[in-house]
Amino acid sequence: MHVAIIGGGIGGLVTALYLHREGIGCRIYESVPEFKPLGVGINLFPHAIRRLYELGLGDGLAAVGVEANEFTWFNQHGQLIYSEPCGRHAGYNWPHFSFHRADLHSVLLAAVKHRLGDDAVVLGHKCSGVDQDERGVKVKFTDTASGAPLPAAAADVAIGCDGFHSAVRRQFHPDEGPAQFGGINLWRGVTRGKPFLTGASVTRCGPLKDGKLVVYAVRNHDDGTQTINWAAEVQKGSWTENDWNKHGRLEDFIGYFERRRFDWLDIPDLLQRSEFVLEYPMVDRDPVDRWSFGRVTLLGDAAHPMYPRGGNGGAQSILDAELISGLLKKIPDPVAALKAYEADRLPKTAKIVLTNRSTPPDTIIETVEELTGGKPFKRLEDVISREKLVQISESYKQVAAWDIASVNRAAV
Ligand SMILES: Cc1cc2nc3c(=O)[nH]c(=O)nc-3n(C[C@H](O)[C@H](O)[C@H](O)COP(=O)(O)OP(=O)(O)OC[C@H]3O[C@@H](n4cnc5c(N)ncnc54)[C@H](O)[C@@H]3O)c2cc1C
């Protein structure tokens, strides 16, 4: 069996590692001619980290990531609403890591090349579509730089791991139309500075209507400073197409955060000293009813693009990768294996896509905002009970499949 993996992001690389572990040959075809660091952070929770540890990547990840120890939620006045431990500090058997994306990608890519060989990743190959018959698949490419056609790749199975703007998804769902915009714009960046709070806190501050900030450290430096990732979310009526590398302007959103100088973090200073500013709209797509078409299927953002809330898009691509590889090993007929993969993963991820729209973890801040009318509170317990806050936090974990019981149920 040979599998063509289209796209070398988190989903494609982890799929290659799992297929290799199952003894299934594969090759990744990636459109970019060269991988360049994307300077934003990513959180991986224990449900995803568990899989990467099982793939033998634990030491590599621990060397580059910041092991988070708590989640914190603040209102726009800098008052703590709720905090809870995370990862091993909360009783999970695996850590929660915050990464610089480039670091996570490098660990995954190095493992693929080390285990499968340098030629397992082919760059500059932009997939333009797939053809198939009962005997196999042909993946068609153009040269990314010149646009010239390249020889097609033959395989038994093709997996479209080609992200939000997936060409494979477009082929099978040609009438899907544009992405669905959630009325929110995101600006992101990284700033080097002194650790804030515990130095390992994944923090959210402020309600959406007044500007929300998500902030966490992604790299520790020898001089005691950290690279701190931030993402500012502001409501907006219009959007331009999502592109990981689109540059943004500080003046378009800093106004929302100018008064947020707290004893635990000076937010305007953090934003002003950012190494760069990137811009990204909050977009997703409605869940589709099919991912698998004969010998071809979708995985990761190509299959279930979701709002980046609750740190789950990349994680779900890792869960997809584990399942599809196991099924391709177990079920001799690849068409049946891809159907079984879809039957398991499609409904689960569709639920997350919809929950990320309606009740993401930020609901904690929004609920308190409503109860206080946006004013500072004197005593939080007069506004909302601890039990209610715990309940909001736990309900998202159940949907996202990262509650402690489900994650720890797996063997250590
Ligand atoms: C602001 C933001 C914050 C996020 N934070 C988190 C988080 O904290 N935790 C989390 O788990 N997730 C997070 N996500 C989501 C996560 O980044 C994605 O879900 C994840 O990157 C999906 O991985 P993927 O491999 O499916 O797609 P991608 O990472 O997009 O990779 C797709 C790859 O396919 C390549 N490609 C595209 N088209 C073609 C083609 N035609 N032919 C060949 N190759 C092609 C691309 O170049 C790319 O390398 C966040 C997303 C955003 C936008």
**How far from chain centre, in Å, is Cα 33?**
23
Is the CB of residue 42 below 6 angstroms from any atom belonging to ligand 1? yes
pLDDT above 70 for 197: yes
Compute the distance between CA of residue 289 and CA of residue 23 in angstroms, rounded to an integer: 30
Compute the distance between CA of residue 286 and CA of residue 168 in angstroms, rounded to an integer: 16
pLDDT tens for each residue of 139-155: 999 999 999 999 999 99
pLDDT above 70 for 108: yes
Mean pLDDT of 324-333: 98
Percent of the chain with pLDDT over 70: 99
pLDDT tens for each residue of 164-187: 999 999 999 999 988 999 899 999
pLDDT tens for each residue of 23-68: 999 999 999 999 987 668 999 999 999 999 999 999 999 999 999 9
Which protein residue has the closest C-alpha to ligand 1 atom 7?
311
- Residue 39 is predicted with a pLDDT of 62
Is the CB of residue 158 below 6 angstroms from any atom belonging to ligand 1? no
**How far from chain centre, in Å, is Cα 168?**
20
pLDDT band for position 212 (50/70/90)?
very high
Compute the distance between CA of residue 404 and CA of residue 392 in angstroms, rounded to an integer: 15
What is the overall mean pLDDT for the chain?
Answer: 94
Which protein residue has the closest C-alpha to ligand 1 atom 37?
162
Q: Could you give the 3-state DSSP secondary structure of residue 181? A: strand
**Nearest-CA neighbor of 70 among 393, 325, 360?**
393
Is the CB of residue 150 below 6 angstroms from any atom belonging to ligand 1? no
**Nearest-CA neighbor of 189 among 249, 106, 103, 264?**
249
Is the CB of residue 29 below 6 angstroms from any atom belonging to ligand 1? yes
Compute the distance between CA of residue 123 and CA of residue 127 in angstroms, rounded to an integer: 11
Domains of the chain as residue ranges with CATH? 2-38+101-178+288-358 (3.50.50.60)
Percent of the chain with pLDDT over 90: 86
pLDDT above 70 for 244: yes
pTM: 0.95
Q: Tokens in use for 265?
A: 């973090």
Compute the distance between CA of residue 108 and CA of residue 103 in angstroms, rounded to an integer: 9
pLDDT above 60 for 411: no
Range with the poorest average pLDDT among 17-31, 108-122, 259-273, 298-312: 298-312
Q: Could you give the 3-state DSSP secondary structure of residue 59? A: helix
Q: Ligand 1 mean position to 188 CA, how many Å?
A: 15
pLDDT above 60 for 412: no
Residue type (1 letter), 42: I
Compute the distance between CA of residue 224 and CA of residue 247 in angstroms, rounded to an integer: 29
